[in-house]
Amino acid sequence: MPPDADAVVDLHDVVATLGQFPALSGATMRVETGEIVLLRGPNGAGKTTLLRLCAGLVPVVRGTALVLGHDLSVDRDRVRSHVGLLGHQNGLYADLTVIENVRFWAATVGATDAEVASAMERMGVADRLASVSVSKLSAGQKRRTALAGLVARRARLWLLDEPHAGLDQRARDDLDNTLREAAAAGATVLVASHELDRAESLATRMVDIVAGRAESGGSR
């Protein structure tokens, strides 16, 4: 491990491309254990790419990116399974029920049935919704199901892209409380959101993303 193992995310002048477009044009950013960092910025600023890069889905073209102490260009595989990503897509199988989906994702990291049950309880998709096919859910309910799958997986780094979008008031509160508890228990959270009021009260720190570069807004 490199000397600076404390930083969960440590980006230095990172460039990443979507096709030929440099979505990240030299992002530098450091996130410590237990932080909840809000990524702010207009559409197309590179927030989504930044999150996907940290999850190992978008390759680092230039610069260095360390996540959980591992260089993403060298051993992405060792970062994975400690990272949970909720992107624009939910990663759900439409033909399976809520509980089947959550169980499947929990099983990929060997989580127990009890953890599945508590995660579903927490995101409000237990009981009546559990045996409903995902194709019959509303957008917000799908989001909650995806979040339950994420909660059950006990990730060390949570990467959430617009997690509040489409959720009702109660689900947002559930989510925020879950994130705070996870952070208190030693997880680290990166959130990209346009729901600034809510996200700012949740976050411990803000980072502005402007034209593919990250600028620390400092501690709150």
Partner 1 sequence: MTTLDPKTTDTADSAMSSRSTGTKATRAIGIAATFAMGWLVLFGLVLSPADVNQGESVRLLYIHVPTIWVAYLSFVVTAVASGMYLFTKKHSLGWDRLAGASAEIGVAFVGLTLLVGAMWGRLTWGVFWQWDARLTTTALLFVTYIGYLAVRRLGGSHEQRAKRSAVVGLLSVLLIPLVHWSVVIWRSLHQTASVLDTDGNIDMDGTMLFTLFIGVIAFSLLYLWLVMHRTRALAMEDMLEDRGLDIALAERRAEGGTR
Partner 2 sequence: MSVARTAWLIARKDLRIEWKSRVITNQVVPFAGVTMVIFGFALDANTDVLELVAPGLVWLATMFSLLLLVQRNFSVEADDGALDAMRVAGVDARGIFFGKVIGLALQLLVLEVLLLFAAVVLYGETIRLDGAVLLVTTMISATCGLAAVGTLYGGLAAGSKGRETLLPLLTLPAVAPVLIGATRAVESALGTGVAELSDGWQWVSLLTVFAVAFGVGGSLAFGPLIDE
Judged by the rule CB under 8 A, the positions of this chain that interact with partner 1 are: 15, 17, 19-22, 25-26, 59, 61, 210-213, 215
Establish if 89 lies at the interface with partner 2 (CB under 8 A): yes
Q: How is 87-131 classified by DSSP, letter by letter?
A: -SS----TTSBHHHHHHHHHHTTT--HHHHHHHHHHTT-SGGGTT
Q: Which of 2, 5, 108, 184 binds partner 2 (CB under 8 A)?
A: 108
Distance in Å, CB of 14 to partner 1, minimum: 12
Residue 56: which of partner 1, partner 2, none does it interact with, CB under 5 to 8 A by kind?
Answer: partner 2
Give the shortest CB-94-to-partner 1 separation in angstroms: 27
Type of residue at 124? G
Q: What is the dihedral of CA 204, 14, 20, 79, to 10 degrees?
A: -80
Nearer to partner 2, 44 or 110 (CB): 110
Neighbours of 129 (CB within 10 A): 20
196 binds partner 2, rule: CB under 8 A: no
Q: Count CB neighbours of 19 within 10 A.
A: 6
Q: Is residue 94 near partner 2 by the rule CB under 8 A?
A: yes
Helix, strand or coil, per DSSP, at residue 33: coil
Type of residue found at 214 = A
| 118 touching partner 2, by CB under 8 A | no
Q: List interacting residues with partner 2 (CB under 8 A).
A: 55-57, 59, 77, 80-85, 87-96, 100, 104-105, 107-110, 133, 153
